[in-house]
Amino acid sequence: MAEKPLEGIRVLDLSHTLAGPFATMILADLGAEVIKVEPLTGDETRQWAPFVDGVSAYYLSINRGKKSIAVDLKREEGREIIYKLAKKSHIVFENYRPGVREKLGVDPDTLFKHNRNLVYISIKGFKPGSIYEKLPAYDLVIQGLSGIMLSTGYEGEPPVRIPFALFDVYTGMMAVIYALAGLYSGEKPYYAEVYLYDTAIFSMCYIPMIYLLTGKKPKRMGHAHPSIVPYQAFQDKNGKWFTVAAANDRFFRKLCEAINKPELIDNPKFRTNPDRVKNRDELVNILQEAFRKRSREEWIKLLREHGIPAAPIYELDEVFKDPYVVKQIVYQIEHPVIGLIKQLSEPGVINKYCPRSTQYPPLKGEHTISVLKDLGYNNEEIKKLIDDKIIYAE
């Protein structure tokens, strides 16, 4: 196995739920030793349905490759464990509510006293000192505030929630970028904050920028594109959906040839993309009528033969029957409770090697004893910490 780029880097993970754990999972995949610090009751996602043999699928999705220790940070003896870990760590992640990290004694000023070379990454919902500082940053709240729920879907219809915590994932990725920048920064200690709300608007990219630059809200077009036509979904003769992405005039000409409608090529209403955007409804109706004459599979084969970007719109079960996904994305690791579990690969390769973690998502407190021994605690001290309910060991 090729050496992973972050081998030798230790991450002290004080985060919970999604954005932080997603970020630290990426770092674990890249070779970092991630020590996940959980309360004695465990990360709250361990209790989120659905369950596989009593283990949360949600938890399993974002915690592979880590070690778990369960510590009561409200107790002085528990905080002392964290301080010892901080001395041996390179990066710290936390996503506590405002004021909590200070109460627990794991704020940056405190941890920097123990290690001046730490990279400390704090994930927050909103900027401190802002009007929203104390507003709970649940995914639904952020999606609503970002404008995305009334940018997707169709005009006149209710808002549409992206069905997964999209901005938690994006924020986790931004946090990884800031953390890696911290490792290379000459300024230590290094402290960075990443905000869910700011990340949400930033990641929507051209949608908010269209408004800022034109003063006009992009219309809600469902699967269509505000700036390109045709660039959307169509239905076949059986009602199945597929995408057609004629993103430039060359693709549009090829499309007209593929569907045997060459007369559309020189029609002044459709000659250029701005023309097609202006006459969107008329053109889409013509194309949809044509696409209802064959099956989705026939159209995709034909369009691809003409070099036109096109693909089926999958149901989720179809995604995991696709040969690319089966071979390139899904892999399995052994879990002590469930047996073989499927995981999603990192979306890239490094020096021709995919940095896949083969360590299953840890059981609660599974590594408490081994981590404490590494910190210098002896068996008697560990037993006392367990008996005093300072730590939990699996």
**Nearest CA among 366, 356, 372 for reference residue 64:** 356
Question: Do 14 and 94 form a contact (C-beta atoms < 8 A)?
Answer: yes
CA distance 140 to 74: 30
- 222-229, long-range: CB within 8 Å, 24+ apart, which pairs? 222/152, 222/153, 222/154, 224/280, 224/284, 227/277, 228/273, 228/277, 229/273, 229/276, 229/277, 229/280, 229/283, 229/284
Question: Do 21 and 36 form a contact (C-beta atoms < 8 A)?
Answer: yes
Q: How far is CA 181 from CA 54, 78, 120, 122, 188, in A?
A: 39, 30, 11, 14, 12
CA distance 287 to 380: 76
E strands along 112-188, which residues? 119-124
Catalytic: 168?
yes
Q: Considering the candidates 168, 317, 322, 388, report the single residue annotated as catalytic.
A: 168
Helix, strand, or coil (residue 310): strand
Query: Which residues form the catalytic set?
Result: 168
